[in-house]
Amino acid sequence: VAMNYRGPFRVRADRNRPDPEILHPNDAIVRVTRSCICGSDLHLYHGLVPDTRVGMTFGHEFTGIVEEVGPGVKNLKPGDHVLVPFNIACGTCPFCRQELYGNCHESNAEATAVGGIFGYSHTAGGFDGGQAEYVRVPYADVGPTIIPPGMDLDDAVLLTDVVPTGYQAAEMAGIKTGDTVVVFGAGPIGIMAAKCAWLFGAGRVIIIDHIEYRLDFARTYAQCEAYNFKSLGDPVLFIKKTTDYFGADVCIDAVGCEAEGSTMQTITGRKLMLQSGAATALHWAINGVKKGGVVSIVGVYGPTGNLIPIGNVLNKGLTIRANQASVKRLLPRLIEHVQAGRLDPKGLITHRVPLEEVSDAYHIFSRKLDNCIKTILIPST
């Protein structure tokens, strides 16, 4: 059984897909034990990522047991239980050597900008993903990491993306002790970014969304302030007022290209998506941060062109930092944070769904029904 993309808003469980095979000496075949649906999958599901081909299996967040390894694989053996970073990285190119594993030069043969990503369209290499019983893992000596003994699989699977992405959002923001941090988006990524902001010494953490159950969840889980932008009026004015008109020290965009309230027209070509108009959350971040402040972007914009208020970026002397998370770089310290109880990834999981019901699971997560924060798909094997 494997998730199968049939076109925008249509996914199904395919019972007849042949299991993947070793195609290269450095491949491994992994039998999936957990996989997640991510906000990034929604951009695919909504048909907003170019070159998302019918028939593809999504899923870039998964754990599993190594079933078979190619003759070139040295660090893994059948039976190992691994968590697999969402980035596919060769480990040896100039970017991997700088630990920019999200920017690998080799793993995405038709590279546009990003390196390879499991189950993330042909703009990210065209690799099938882990919302399946079995998945082919290229460069198996580089990404897959043995799950530490005693670690809950639900924690492990969130170390493949949500925790490193939330953490890197806070890290890129360069938070200093006492800083006021504003996070846009109270999905799993924004909530984790808010939680991690405290680890960097934030003095005040504010999250902004418009879905009440997510704001409630964020208040409890990340012990932050949480506001509904629909009742704030102008979120930028609110940020100014609450910071003595200085602006936030840092703003984090954990929303991306589908920001509610945006006036964007999307033109999707084979390799490029162009959006014209305002991406609300990113504009609020740029306009709400203080002069000399930092805007950290982890929300995904696909390979897109966007209008941003670059004049304000210049006049305010802002630093903008953005990237896909470099999962492998962050894993050692994040495993420590989880083991020490400073981070509780599995606390984000609200839904556990058999892989066969993947279609319902996408519907619920996409429409933000049933108080859904994070969904885990469980294969039956």
Q: What does the alpha-carbon distance between residue 58 and residue 130 come to, in Å, rounded to a whole number?
A: 7
Give the integer Cα–Cα distance in Å for 197 and 248: 13
What does the alpha-carbon distance between residue 364 and residue 374 come to, in Å, rounded to a whole number?
Answer: 10
Is 309 near ligand NAD (CB under 6 A)?
no
Residue type, 126: G
Nearest to ligand NAD of 26, 131 (CB atom): 131
> What single string gives the DSSP state of each residue in 185-197?
--SHHHHHHHHHH
Does 280 help bind ligand NAD (rule: CB under 6 A)? yes
First to last CA, the chain: 9
DSSP state of 355: G
Q: Which of 11, 28, 89, 259 binds ligand NAD (CB under 6 A)?
A: 259
Q: Is residue 324 at the binding interface for ligand NAD, with CB under 6 A as the rule?
A: yes
Task: Check binding of 111 to Zn ion (CB under 5 A).
Answer: no
Q: In whole angstroms, how close is the CB of 250 to ligand NAD at the nearest point?
A: 16
186 interacts with, out of Zn ion, ligand NAD, none, CB within 5 to 8 A per kind: ligand NAD
Please provide the DSSP assignment of 78-123 as one string: TT-EEEE-SEE--S-SHHHHTT-GGG-SSS-TT-SSS-EEBTS-GG
Pattern 77-106, binding to ligand NAD, x per CB under 6 A? ------------------------------
**Among the residue ranges 5-13, 187-195, 304-312, 348-356, the one whose residues contact ligand NAD (CB under 6 A):** 187-195
Question: Which x/- pattern over 9-48 shows residues binding ligand NAD (rule: CB under 6 A)?
Answer: -----------------------------xxx-xx-----
- Contacted by 104, from ligand NAD, Zn ion, none: CB < 5 to 8 Å by type: Zn ion
CB of 280 to ligand NAD, least distance (A): 4
Output 222 or 254, the one with its CB closest to ligand NAD. 254
- Single out the residue of 187, 288, 347, 379 in contact with ligand NAD (rule: CB under 6 A): 187
Residue pair 74/84 in contact (Cβ under 8 Å)? The answer is no
Q: Which residues contact 3 (CB under 8 A, 6 or more apart)?
A: 11, 12, 13, 14, 57, 58, 59, 129, 131, 132, 355, 358, 377
